[in-house]
Amino acid sequence: SKSKNAPGTKMVFVPGGEFLMGTDDPGIPPDGESPQRKVHLNHFYMDVHEVSNHQFQSFTNATGYVTEAEKFGDSFVFEGLLSEEVKSQISQAVAAAPWWLPVRGADWRHPEGPDSSIADRLDHPVLHVSWGDAVAYCTWAHKRLPTEAEWEFACRGGLQDRLYPWGNKLNPKGQHYANLWQGEFPTHNTGEDGYIKTSPVRSFPPNGYGLYNMVGNAWEWTADWWTVHHTTDRQPNPTGPPSGTDKVKKGGSYMCHKSYCYRYRCAARSQNTPDSSASNLGFRCVSPEQP
């Protein structure tokens, strides 16, 4: 059925053209940010902000959609956000990243497990959504996920070869431009930017295209399969490899600190299996046509 009730997220025009994707400078080498390469894109429209809990609720209300985390019965939550009660029931952790715990009953309506809710966070990014959940939402809204190249072009906001959507300084004039981690990761987040967890989807100044929170707040799924091998031949509208095991996510999250996750840069990237969900991973949609 047509999504007559699809929430009207404002979208902005992203002009397309040629840009330098990735970086040689040196970024995080194992992440495959290099080599920097010329990419040409057609124009498109992009949601000005990450899909919010309120918007996702409109989708599930209209369709009865059930997310993968709800089907699995658990999802990954950052330990620092859990109540002692929930933490005491968990025995298993991820060896390489012990601050991630699989929490029974964690899903988009219960971001920190059964004793949490989104009631006071309807304007925050929806979390605990898998890649398939994100595709289902965008399809319902007559949109799609951005390719990695579209996402990165949009992140750059019309600037050339800069680290962040606003330039090269993390905190110009002492101001925060993104929801990141201040303090010692993973033990102490000072919340100097105003937030310990997610922030509303329209917090911090938008970039040159009018896009909010392209870096920080929540990671964003893209359409592409993951690879670290890139040709330096000029690519028109690249869509990534034809298949793979992981999908590319971009932008970093409120958990990113330079010491551990210097991935709140436009060129930065990371990966998850498509069925993954976590308390710092969301998405936004694009459309080739004016909405």
Ligand X SMILES: *[C@@H]1O[C@H](CO)[C@@H](O)[C@H](O)[C@H]1NC(C)=O
Position 61 contacts ligand X (CB under 6 A) = yes
Q: Which of 34, 58, 199, 280 binds ligand X (CB under 6 A)?
A: 58
Distance in angstroms (rounded) separating the CA atoms of residues 238 and 118? 36
Stretch that binds ligand X, among 32-40, 51-59, 223-231, 235-243 (CB under 6 A): 51-59
Residue number, 62 or 159, with CB nearest to ligand X: 62
Give the phi and the psi of residue 139 in degrees, each rounded to 5.
Answer: -65, -45
Contacts of 143 (CB under 8 A, 6+ apart): 47, 285, 286, 287, 291
Q: Which is nearer to ligand X, 6 or 159 (CB)?
A: 6
Residue 94 DSSP code: B
3 state SS of 59: helix
Compute the least distance from the CB of residue 121 to ligand X, in Å.
Answer: 13
Cα distance between residue 38 and residue 167, in whole Å: 20
Over the Cα atoms of the chain, what is R_g? 18
Q: Is 54 in the site for ligand X (CB under 6 A)?
A: yes
| CB 3 to ligand X: min, Å | 13
Contact track, ligand X, 21-40, x by CB under 6 A: --------------------
Kindly give the interhelix angle for 53-63 and 131-140, rounded to the nearest 10 degrees: 70
Q: Tell me, what DSSP letter sits at residue 278?
A: B
Nearer to ligand X, 95 or 119 (CB): 119
The nearest distance, CB 65 to ligand X, in angstroms, is 12
C-alpha pair distances (Å), 251 with each of 50, 57, 238, 256, 277: 11, 24, 19, 10, 16
Tell me whether residue 55 or residue 217 sits nearer to ligand X (CB atom).
55
**117 scored as a contact of ligand X (CB under 6 A):** no
Residue 61 or 259 with smaller CB distance to ligand X: 61
The answer to whether 238 and 41 are in contact (CB under 8 A) is no
Distance CA 139, CA 134 (A): 9
CB of 136: closest distance to ligand X in angstroms?
16
What phi and psi, each to the nearest 5 degrees, are found at residue 150?
-60, -45
- Cβ nearer to ligand X, comparing 7 with 132: 7
Q: Which single residue brings its beta carbon nearest to ligand X? A: 61
Q: Which stretch binds ligand X (CB under 6 A): 52-60, 141-149, 188-196, 277-285?
A: 52-60
Cα dihedral 224→225→228→231 (10° resolution): -60
Query: Least distance (Å) from ligand X to the CB of residue 61?
Result: 4
- CB of residue 109 to ligand X, shortest distance in Å: 11
Q: Give the nearest distance from C-beta 174 to ligand X in angstroms.
A: 37
CB nearer ligand X, residue 66 or residue 228: 66
Q: What residues line the site for ligand X (CB under 6 A)?
A: 54, 57-58, 61
